[in-house]
Structure 1
Amino acid sequence: MCVENTPPPSSKLTRRGILAGAAALAGTTAALAAAAPRTAAAAESGAQRTSGAGQATTGDLVIEGGTLLDPATGEVTEDAVVVIVDGIVHAAGARSRTQVPDGIEKLDAQGSWILPGLVEAHVHLNTAAEARDAVRQGATSARSGSTNFYQDIAVRELARQVPQLAPRLQAAGVFVSPDLGDTILADPDLTPLAKLKDGVRSHEALRRVVEINLARGADVIKTRVNERAGLPEQDPQVQVYDREQLSAVVDAARRGGKGVLCHSYAEKGCHDAVMAGVRSIEHGAFIGEHTLQEMKRRGTYFTPTLSAMAGMVDSPDPILAERGRTFLAAAKERALAAHKMGVPLAAGTDSSGGKIKPIGREVELMREAGLPALDAIRTATTGAAKLLGLEGKAGRLARGFAGDVVLVDGDPLADVRVLKTPKRVVRSGVAL
């Protein structure tokens, strides 16, 4: 069956209905309703403010007395002050050189290290509860790895209205994959694809799924080139799309002004994805030097998701446990090789299924792979922020950047593991 002559994605009214269903599934509607009385009371007291109906809740806050780390430069400032006004950093630096406005709530950071909120480059946020867990573990910005029913788009809207409930999120919508499974039920515009004998494989069908995602408001497109590692019945070395098919996905995304992240494991699949023009390779346990060189030349990012592979090691399924051990060792080696070659790296946990891993765990594994501590931290700050197009907003605490902060007990340059358990998180100027 050809889908070339099907109508364009449905009207705004249908889009609203679909996304209302996604919000109900994600629980974001209930989360917003529960947050409304609290944010109204905080706004009345002057601790927070809202910019108007449907706009973000932000805060004014002075964080003082801790040790500030700037991941961009590596500069360490003792007895530092960070001034946040209306959710944006107004000033950051040594107390002796930073003017502190009167009448702003203060947060004592004595004994703590102050870092920018962390950036999670690959996570599956299906619910408001998962989003809350991610931000409370320090991930104040994130990129979705797709959801089955557009729940990530609902979570993104939750973050825009009440930032304290979710990371600033780039939503991927639904996965561009040969077998859409139950995702067919997410959208009436997807249902004609159920009749395709070979699944979503033709260039027309691939473009169609991308166009529907864009019509529903996706910020980025997620596709695959290999089967899954987390299912014992699948072989992650098996390729499901060739370079031409991947190029069809990339071209359709580019027409909408969006980039593509690609689930990949085998060297040939990774190389085909890079040559097709994807923005980032996800997983990439067996990516080769030739492909890494091409990634460096193109500026293609590598998100090795080491946490996901480490999570398989203790699986009761012997296939997955062995796969976890083999893939984790290989991916660590590839991450270090990429770093040494100058391939940009981003930290992503690939968390899904209701359990959100701390993004600090991915930094820990990057360090274990052999990256210097500061460079490991950069994969979850400046590096990931650039991948997400947030280099002027996230990843640092400097004037004009988002007022997203993590406080940790201990020096992360001496032991990055402190990032796994933030002492305090500030999102958009509001301390959680």
Structure 2
Amino acid sequence: MCLHDHTPAALPASAVPRRGVLAGAAALAGISVASLAAQLGSAPAAKAAGNAPHSGRPVPPPPMIIEGGTIVDPKTGNAVEDGVLVLEEGRVSAVGSRDETRRAVAALAGRARMVDASGRWVLPGLIDVHVHANALSDAAAILQGGATSVRSGSSSFYQDVALAALPEWAAGASPRMSPAGLFISPELGDSLLADPDLAPLASLQGGVTEHTDLAYLTRVNLKRGAQVIKTRANPRAGLAEQDPRELVYGYDQLSAVVKAAGKAGVLCHAYSAEGIDGAVRAGVRSIEHGVFVTEETISRMASRGTYFTPTMDAITSMAGSSDPVLAARGREYTPIIKAAVRAAHEAGVTVVAGTDSFGSDVTPIGTEARLLAEAGLSPLDALRAATVNAAALLGWSRDAGRLVRGSYADAVIVNADPLKSASALEQIGAVVAQGVLVRNNP
């Protein structure tokens, strides 16, 4: 689980230029220009662009045909046995039975990469709505775990904004990313150096707490490319020296962040009953963690359409910590969060899957789905939490979460029936991201 506090280590000597967010964030993540080129050099877009990355549009990966597997639609729960999925120019061009896709397959004869999914199940690429990715290695680990789309839970120096730009130019180098930029939190640490516009915040006594300063930090994030805003109501549960029930930001402060974020929406780290309720009343789009949510707040979440990201693995895994404080929290919190997930789901709150993975220490999204099922969701609802529900939260319902004509060319192949057991999502045989086969274990 993630034990970070969103406070970066010492800043490398190189400065971050106002231009070139991608190169700057890569440098801050410890990635040299040579390393970046080496890791992306095999991508179709990189080959097409040569040494001048802006000399032309990226070339999409070659077509791909996945055949023989059972194709599952998480929205309906329907499945097509011996199905065919045709991916072309970064999108699904055909999907269905062999007869329904016959013409599409014939049109690509001799040009498409063939992937045999016989005896397995084909799903849309999974979606992890809470990750902290700061480097290319992090992105690669997330993809290997089956998540082809993610929502950032913040990064230290806008690395998530840079990662969000990669799929267009280097298919398969990173999951599709909804970046959050910097964590809206009182103490920014070295993240103040992520943008010269943040320098005025360095002189604040007591950190970023006033409404005008919260709004300012939010606007800087949006200007830098954040597509969603991350803030907090409480401290971290994964750090023994912090009290996760202490209030960091209350209703008024969270309202200031929500107002400044506008249509981008806000995800809020919250543990205490007061913190969760204040965040929901302030209008955040999703509650992250939410251990001590009350029945009253659950009812409010259902009526407002607030999503719930319980980050089951991050919370329950504390029970195995070598730190006695964290182990005690894990044992205490596990039955509470399970009951909260069950109650929220039964009340009509949309539950989504997020692992709170940090760096290359990635929990596969399938593990989170299994834990949601163990908390009371059906296998189909656990699958939906990592597909259609997550896509709806990101605003990507037209493109992600299902395999339909025109949707993203993202897919996973699993070795067991996900409609019978959510643990099937942990048995990943292949991953296709942006039309590129990034993992294949036949």
**TM-score of the alignment, normalized to the shorter chain, above 0.5:** yes
Deviations 1:88-125 (A, max 9, x none): 00111111322223232211111111000000000000
Does residue 264 of structure 1 match 2:297?
no
- 1:107 aligned partner: 115
- 1:207 aligned partner: 215
For residues 56 and 133 of structure 1, what CA distance do their matches in structure 2 show? Answer: 24
CA contact (8 A) 1:306 1:331 kept: yes
What is the Cα deviation at residue 302 of structure 1?
0.5
Residues 78-87 or 187-196, more deviating: 187-196
- 2:25 aligned partner: 22
- 1:95 aligned partner: 98
1:414 to 414, 417, 420: 420
Does residue 310 of structure 1 match 2:336?
no
Kindly tell me: are residues 29 and 137 of structure 1, through their superposed partners in 2, closer, same or farther at Cα, counting changes over 3 Å? Answer: farther
Deviations 1:260-299 (A, max 9, x none): 0000011111111011111110000111111111111111
Residues matched between the structures, number: 413
Query: Percent identical across equivalent pairs?
Result: 50
1:217 to 209, 225, 246: 225
> Partner of 1:223: helix, strand, or coil?
strand
- 1:405 aligned partner: 411
What is the Cα deviation at residue 416 of structure 1?
1.9
For residues 28 and 74 of structure 1, what CA distance do their matches in structure 2 show? Answer: 45
Kindly tell me: are residues 201 and 428 of structure 1, through their superposed partners in 2, closer, same or farther at Cα, counting changes over 3 Å? Answer: same
- 1:165 aligned partner: 173
What is the Cα deviation at residue 162 of structure 1?
1.5
Q: Which runs of 5+ in 1 are unaligned?
A: 1-12, 45-49
> Partner of 1:163: helix, strand, or coil?
coil
- 2:74 aligned partner: 71
Does residue 198 of structure 1 match 2:198?
no
2:161 to 136, 143, 153: 153
Does residue 374 of structure 1 match 2:377?
no
For residues 91 and 154 of structure 1, what CA distance do their matches in structure 2 show? Answer: 31
For residues 228 and 132 of structure 2, what CA distance do their matches in structure 1 show? Answer: 13
Task: Give, as a single letter, the amino acid of the residue that structure 2 aligns with 1:425.
Answer: V
- 2:42 aligned partner: 38
- 2:149 aligned partner: 141
> Partner of 1:334: helix, strand, or coil?
helix
What is the Cα deviation at residue 319 of structure 1?
0.5
Residues 419-428 or 79-88, more deviating: 419-428
For residues 393 and 216 of structure 1, what CA distance do their matches in structure 2 show? Answer: 24
For residues 341 and 27 of structure 2, what CA distance do their matches in structure 1 show? Answer: 38
What is the Cα deviation at residue 17 of structure 1?
5.3
CA contact (8 A) 2:141 2:360 kept: no
- 1:287 aligned partner: 293
> Partner of 2:94: helix, strand, or coil?
strand
Does residue 350 of structure 1 match 2:353?
no
Deviations 1:207-257 (A, max 9, x none): 111011011111110000011101111110111111111011011110xx3
- 1:86 aligned partner: 89
What is the Cα deviation at residue 415 of structure 1?
2.3
1:386 to 392, 396, 400: 392
TM-score normalised by structure 2 residue count: 0.89
CA contact (8 A) 1:279 1:300 kept: yes
CA contact (8 A) 1:271 1:291 kept: yes
For residues 241 and 386 of structure 1, what CA distance do their matches in structure 2 show? Answer: 27
**Cα RMSD over matched residues?**
2.0
For residues 314 and 57 of structure 1, what CA distance do their matches in structure 2 show? Answer: 44
TM-score normalised by structure 1 residue count: 0.91
1:242 to 250, 255, 262: 250
Task: Give, as a single letter, the amino acid of the residue that structure 1 aligns with 2:28.
Answer: L
Deviations 1:304-363 (A, max 9, x none): 000111221211101001111222221111111111111111100000143011000100
What is the Cα deviation at residue 18 of structure 1?
5.5
CA contact (8 A) 2:46 2:170 kept: no
For residues 426 and 32 of structure 2, what CA distance do their matches in structure 1 show? Answer: 26
> Partner of 1:64: helix, strand, or coil?
strand
Kindly tell me: are residues 18 and 28 of structure 1, through their superposed partners in 2, closer, same or farther at Cα, counting changes over 3 Å? Answer: same
- 1:324 aligned partner: 330
> Partner of 2:399: helix, strand, or coil?
coil
Task: Give, as a single letter, the amino acid of the residue that structure 2 aligns with 1:96.
Answer: D
2:234 to 226, 231, 237: 226
Q: Which runs of 5+ in 2 are unaligned?
A: 1-15
- 1:6 aligned partner: none
For residues 87 and 187 of structure 2, what CA distance do their matches in structure 1 show? Answer: 46
1:122 to 120, 130, 134: 130
Residues 215-224 or 185-194, more deviating: 185-194
For residues 304 and 421 of structure 2, what CA distance do their matches in structure 1 show? Answer: 33
Deviations 1:133-176 (A, max 9, x none): 10121100000000111111111122332131111000000000
